[in-house]
């Protein structure tokens, strides 16, 4: 099955069909409407801003439809090449190893304090950070995965968009967004809000696929970073 397609029998198919009829929008980063089609052969409806070079889905999903995607099926999906994960929870050991490595790297800049993980999913990063003495909180749009994190770890994990929460401003030493910013409908607003949450000298750390990376250039439309249009809304590079 080609990347960017979903079989009609899949439980997410009807949801995806609704989202792909959403409205066209200008560039989130610079506001320009000077756009051109980008990699049209992958069928994702991507456009590139000719002014700042940001690549994004040209027809932005409604926020409530976008967030409705992240139910239980998203984390246990046999067609994970198109959307979501095959078995997220079963991959816990590998996910924790990645998070432990990131915490070691962050330790060069900040060692302890108050941490907020945006898009915390099952809470594995929160748990690794708590072992190192961090005071942890998390937020995720998925009600399914938030309930899992709360019941397993008992941490303060909120459900919904970051922008809808009442986290205290100027309170956090570290805010993390691991593979989150490409999913949200308004990344500029997210980053601005995160800046307000940080203490003076606080750090924001994020990870996102690089559309100009060597793997992306070598594999073209088959790049693993390309997902169905409602999952990855934005495709960043080091420049953007």
52 within domain boundaries: yes
pLDDT over threshold 70, residue 6: no
Give the C-alpha separation, 38 to 42, whole Å. 9
- Report which DSSP code applies to 103: H
Q: What is the pLDDT of residues 74-99, one digit of tens each?
A: 898 775 455 778 889 999 999 999 99
Residues 190 and 224 in one domain: no
Residues 201 and 130 in one domain: yes
Q: Give the phi and the psi of residue 49 in degrees, each rounded to 5.
A: -70, 125
Q: Helix, strand, or coil here: 88?
A: coil
**Which stretch of 81-90, 138-147, 218-227 has the lowest confidence by average pLDDT?**
218-227
* pLDDT score at 99: 98
Residues 119 and 215 in one domain: no
Confidence of residue 61 (pLDDT cuts 50, 70, 90): low
Confidence of residue 225 (pLDDT cuts 50, 70, 90): confident
Compute the average pLDDT of residues 25-35. 91
CATH number of the structural domain spanning residue 120: 3.40.50.150
**Which stretch of 48-57, 62-71, 171-180 has the lowest confidence by average pLDDT?**
62-71
Domain, as residue range, for 55: 13-87+210-235
Residues 23 and 128 in one domain: no
Residues 155 and 114 in one domain: yes
Tokens representing residue 137 in the block: 């909180």
* pLDDT score at 82: 59
2 within domain boundaries: no
Q: What distances in angstroms separate CA 160 from CA 67, 115, 209, one per listed residue? A: 8, 18, 23
82 within domain boundaries: yes
Residues 30 and 129 in one domain: no
1 within domain boundaries: no
Residues 155 and 222 in one domain: no
36 within domain boundaries: yes
Pairwise pLDDT comparison (161 vs 22), residue with the higher score: 161
156 within domain boundaries: yes
- Report which DSSP code applies to 133: T
Residues 203 and 224 in one domain: no
4 within domain boundaries: no
* pLDDT score at 147: 98
**Mean of the per-residue pLDDT values of the chain:** 86
**Which stretch of 116-130, 163-177, 201-215 has the lowest confidence by average pLDDT?**
201-215
Compute the average pLDDT of residues 18-43. 76
Residue-by-residue DSSP string for 168-201? PTT-EEEEEEET-TTTSS-HHHHHHHHHHHEEEE
Residues 23 and 122 in one domain: no
Residues 80 and 17 in one domain: yes
Pairwise pLDDT comparison (146 vs 59), residue with the higher score: 146
pLDDT over threshold 80, residue 4: no
**Total structural domains within the chain:** 2
Give percent above pLDDT 90 in the chain. Answer: 61
Residues 80 and 157 in one domain: no
Residues 112 and 191 in one domain: yes
Taking the model in full, what pTM does it have? 0.86
Compute the average pLDDT of residues 141-170. 97
């Amino acid at each position: 099955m080609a990347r960017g397609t979903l079989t009609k029998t899949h439980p997410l198919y009807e949801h995806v069909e609704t989202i792909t009829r959403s409205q066209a929008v200008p560039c989130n980063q610079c506001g320009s409407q000077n756009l051109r089609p980008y990699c049209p052969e992958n069928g994702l409806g991507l456009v590139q801003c000719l002014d700042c070079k940001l690549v994004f889905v040209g027809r932005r999903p409604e926020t409530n439809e976008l967030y409705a995607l992240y139910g239980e099926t998203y984390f246990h999906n046999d067609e994970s090449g198109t959307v979501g994960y095959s078995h997220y929870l079963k991959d816990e050991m590998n996910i924790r190893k990645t998070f432990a490595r990131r915490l070691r790297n962050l330790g060069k800049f900040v060692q302890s304090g108050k941490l907020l993980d945006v898009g915390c999913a099952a809470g594995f990063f929160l748990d690794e950070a708590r072992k190192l003495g961090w005071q942890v909180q998390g937020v995720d749009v998925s009600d399914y995965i938030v309930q899992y994190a709360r019941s397993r770890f008992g941490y303060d994990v909120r459900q919904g968009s970051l922008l809808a929460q009442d986290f205290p401003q100027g309170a956090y030493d570290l805010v993390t967004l691991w593979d989150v910013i490409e999913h949200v409908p308004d990344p500029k607003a997210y980053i601005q809000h995160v800046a307000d949450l940080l203490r003076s000298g606080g750090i924001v750390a994020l990870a996102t696929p690089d559309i100009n990376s060597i793997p992306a250039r070598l594999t073209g439309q088959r790049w693993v970073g390309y997902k169905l249009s409602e999952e990855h809304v934005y495709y960043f590079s080091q420049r953007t």
